[in-house]
A = this chain, B = another copy of it.
Amino acid sequence: MKSYHLRSGAGIDGLTLREHDDPRPAFGQVLLRVHATALSMRELLVLEGDYPLPVRDDVVPGCAGVGEVVAIGPGVTRVAPGDRVAATVFPDWIDGPFGLDYAAQLGSWRDGMLTDLALAGEQGLVRLPDHLSYAEAAALPLTAVTAWNALTGGRPALPGETVLTLGSGGVSLFALQLAKLAGARVIATTSSPAKAEQLRELGADEVVGYRATPEWGAEVRRLTDGRGVDRVVDVVGDLAQSLAATALGGEIALVGHWLGADTEGPALSSAALFNAGAVVRPLAVGSRAQFEAMNRVVASARLRPLVHREFGFDEVPEALRYYGKGGFVGNVVIRHS
């Protein structure tokens, strides 16, 4: 078997691809043939040494991967050889709120998915919806679960509420699709008319250009008759604008505001938070229970994450560089075989 390994802080150039003996699953473990891994900002932050959670040296990167069960260890009952599964990003997070006990993450502390054979505990696996290819399904463990948590992990979004999504990243697109399925009205922000069209095709009821309208918070509020939106899925947006857009009593799900990620935005004051009267709820991915609940609607609505481009397993460094440049819509996926 072959795996990528990282040196934290050494960036993409610090990645090495190495040969190992094939592993055998121990008690409670499952051996997966990994078929696809979706790239994310986490990989870049981990490689650059900017990730807020601890990174173990020489760890296998890649937090979001899917594959096929090829062998199971003693005591395993949740899956069987041949099952198509995803590994959960936080394998110990089964249900309930996130906590320190669950912080050991794939691709930063535990060996991740940029490998052809992966060992996983059976509790950290979730079956894939049948209608998705491996490449499509690779977006589920991180991007889609995060979007689901953003919409349902606090007070669940109700039909008739208004949800604001920011930009065209994977989490935002999936949140848009899920919010429409949940009966919500969706306002989306974007930078360009071309992306605006894509957002409308995915179901956005209104699109606001954040370049043309730097004070987009006020514009979004205007689109809700001055009331403000009920919920924002704020993925590295300008939180001050999100606060301006949100209704008294609304909720801002804060996603991916890593260290330094928002250096362009103005500093916040606690008075701005207080006067907005909205709950700010940071979140990181979601639990296995949330993943399974989400899969039910992914399956019943036959939702398909958008795959923008696929790279081969040998092309991981190129794929990461491509990902880092941004400017695309949809997922960048490594095909392992």
Spell out A's residues near B (CB within 8 Å).
26-29, 52, 73-75, 78, 92, 94-101, 103, 121, 123, 152, 154, 156, 158-161, 178, 181-183, 185, 227, 234, 239, 247-249, 254, 256-262, 265, 267-271, 273-282, 284, 287, 289, 293-301
Contacts and interface: CB of A to CB of B under 8 A. Distances in A.
A38 B276 CA distance: 26
Give the number of times this chain occurs in the complex, counting copies. 4
A196 to B, nearest CB: 21
B183 A123 contact: no
A296 B225 CA distance: 13
A273 B254 contact: yes
Nearest to A265: B270
Contacts of A284: 277
A-B pairs with the 7 shortest C-beta distances? Answer: A95-B96, A160-B297, A267-B267, A160-B296, A26-B27, A257-B274, A159-B297
Given A26-B74, A27-B27, A182-B182, A98 B277 contact: yes
A92 B293 CA distance: 18
Nearest to A226: B100
Between A75, A271, A281, the greatest number of chain B beta carbons within 10 A of the residue's beta carbon is seen for A271
Contacts of A182: 158-159, 182-183
